Amino acid sequence: MTLFGFHASHEQIGPRALLEAVKHAERAGFDAAMCSDHFSPWSARQGESGFAWSWLGSALQATGMPFGVVNAPGQRYHPAIIAQAIGTLGAMYPGRFWAALGTGEASNEHITGDPWPRKDVRAARLRECVDVIRALLAGEEVSHDGLVRVDRARLWTRPEEPPALVGAAVSVATARWCAEWADGLITVNAPVAHLREMIDAYRDAGGRGPLHLQVHVSWAPEQAQAEALAYDQWRSNVFAPPVCWDLETAEHFDVVSADVPAQRVAEVVNVSADLGRHVGWLEEYVELGFDQIALHHVGKEQRGFIDAFGAEVLPKLRPTG
């Protein structure tokens, strides 16, 4: 059975309000949760960016749901520190935490002052980080000299079972590459044909573990409200790679998105006041074989979305009898 999760967007909602939202989502019938891990939002209108790892400890304690996070080790984060963070949460909340690993975005990583590498270099760096993190979670002492450097690191606090390390991908080629090392795959909503191609590429290359999907939605009681909300909050998030990878500040995103048409936003966000239409979209994703679908309502106010989807959408997506 597909699990339906709540995506906690640190870039749009302050951490205290986001904690209340995820607690409310559990009460409303959501099965799981995940969150982003950014240093900067994609727009000044979004206006937040809390520290994911501090928040995750509180969120796991405040709920009984499993949680995941999408992280980019290698520049802003040393992989040994990420291994320690994963290991600590895994030890505190056994079986309830997973981490997805990706190559990152300049808007978060440029803060170190180090150059932003080419995509192929970022992929190679991530692969090194994965190996370091896995070895540390397995209890090994690690030294490594490469695109990342590690000197005699050892995790003294570890879970009995290492949390899953999931591969983050938006392209077919990256999904295929993730099959080499990942315990599962996560991607974002896209046309069904593209998602099917990604899944096939991952599985055909030997990819194991669950399939995760993050779905951007915009819902409001009136269609015009849903459209306006999506346009205000998410028009800076419509750009395909490499643009979205390489812009450095929220101001850059706001400048390049100033003239984005509303229809372009509807290509990356499922926008509708009709809850039945949202059910239909989600049924298509379930049929593709996704094991967990995290719903991200792109508005800042979450309670109405949580209540509506908990009462009218999620029950229609679950087996009966």
Name the phi and psi angles at 197, rounded to 5: -65, -40
Q: 96-140 pLDDT, tens per residue?
A: 999 999 999 999 999 999 999 999 999 999 999 999 999 999 999
Tell whether the torsion through CA atoms of 219, 9, 301 and 93 is positive or negative.
positive
Tokens 């229609």, located at residue = 316
Which residue is catalytic, options 10, 11, 26, 38? 38
The answer, yes or no, to whether residue 321 has pLDDT greater than 60, is no
Question: DSSP secondary structure string, 72-119?
Answer: -TTSSS-HHHHHHHHHHHHHHSTTSEEEEE----HHHHGGG-S----H
Q: 267-294 pLDDT, tens per residue?
A: 999 999 999 999 999 999 999 999 999 9
Which residue is catalytic, options 11, 26, 105, 227? 105
Examine the residue annotation and report whether 38 is marked as an active-site residue of this protein: yes
Examine the residue annotation and report whether 110 is marked as an active-site residue of this protein: no
Q: 77-86 pLDDT, tens per residue?
A: 999 999 999 9
pTM, whole model, 2 decimals?
A: 0.95
Predicted confidence at residue 320, as pLDDT, reads 76
